[in-house]
Amino acid sequence: MRELTYAEALREGLRQAMTADPGVFIIGEDIGVYGGAFGVSAGLLDEFGEERVIDTPISEAGIAGACIGAALTGMRPVGEIQFMDFITLSMEQLVLQAAKVRFMFGGKASVPMVLRTPGGSGTGAAAQHSESLENWFVHVPGLKVVMPSTPYDAKGLLLAAIDDNNPVIFVEHKLLYKTKGDVPEEAYRVPLSQTRVVREGQHVTVVATSIMVVRALQAAEELAKEGIELEIVDPRTLKPLDEAPIIESVKKTGRVLVVHEAVEVGGFGGEVVARIASSEAFDYLEAPVRRLGALDIPIPYNRELEYHTVPQVEDIVRDARKLARNEF
């Protein structure tokens, strides 16, 4: 199978969706001539023209509002927020409008829109361009939240999100755009709300999201040299969460570490821990459930400080080793 980068997989998914359905269009800042801040939409303007690849003024509320209005009329817009930090400016449109319309109108209206946004640190972009805010949207009834960690999942989940009749927040980590993986040519779908066991193991379950899946796999290779086998579970869709594979994995290993890049306080890991604690997996635990997230500070500009603010491979190795050895 051919390899594509994460960004190329997203672009191919957009191209195939736009080719198959004239109601699909993309809209955002600098997505046309410039090709997007991270190059995802490069070349699509030449293929589909200005009516379907729409450059907007710098107005995140305007992008979200245009998507909602278009979706209500039967189109399937894919908006792009250039950096996840700026999604804060579209919160009224997303939280009070997109998330609630279908419920408030008794199912007679739908908002089939996708809002793509790059999140996360690692590029030296400092405190206003490096946040991971996905759990804000997990908290909102009516929104779906997706975080692919591989090129294969990026394309398949994007196509599934475009098909969905609900608003989907689609979070792409900046450091994943250049990663490569096998991606089929056909327009396949990865179903939303389908958790995947990425790596089989027997000693510690690691529930990881986005870039942390990649780091957890690297940590697993290190710990395997010590005889510690990690089982890595990737939710892929944070909401609605497919919790069954997580519960089964915890029952198997008896130990669990939940890892995400977002600030640990109020992060998605707390929800996962609560699900485990209130499930049958609780009786199988051999050690307390552990969380590993970012420090409770804005992302620093200094590269060394930035590195140590969010979980890295060595942090996962350290915490998983402690769990395996009952050292907590």
Nearest to 290 by CA among 326, 248, 314: 326
Nearest to 31 by CA among 18, 43, 19: 43
Contact assessment for residue 5 and residue 152, using Cβ atoms and an 8 Å cutoff: no
State the catalytic residue, choosing from 60, 131, 134, 172. Answer: 60
Contact assessment for residue 38 and residue 29, using Cβ atoms and an 8 Å cutoff: no
280 assigned to active site: no
State the catalytic residue, choosing from 29, 129, 131, 306. Answer: 129
> How many Å apart are CA 63 and CA 109, to the nearest integer?
20
**Hey, CA dihedral for 210, 212, 214, 216, is it positive or negative?**
negative
200 assigned to active site: no
Q: Phi and psi (nearest 5°) for 227?
A: 85, 10
Query: Which amino acid appears at position 16 of this protein?
Result: Q
Nearest to 315 by CA among 257, 265, 273, 269: 257
| Active-site residue set | 60, 129
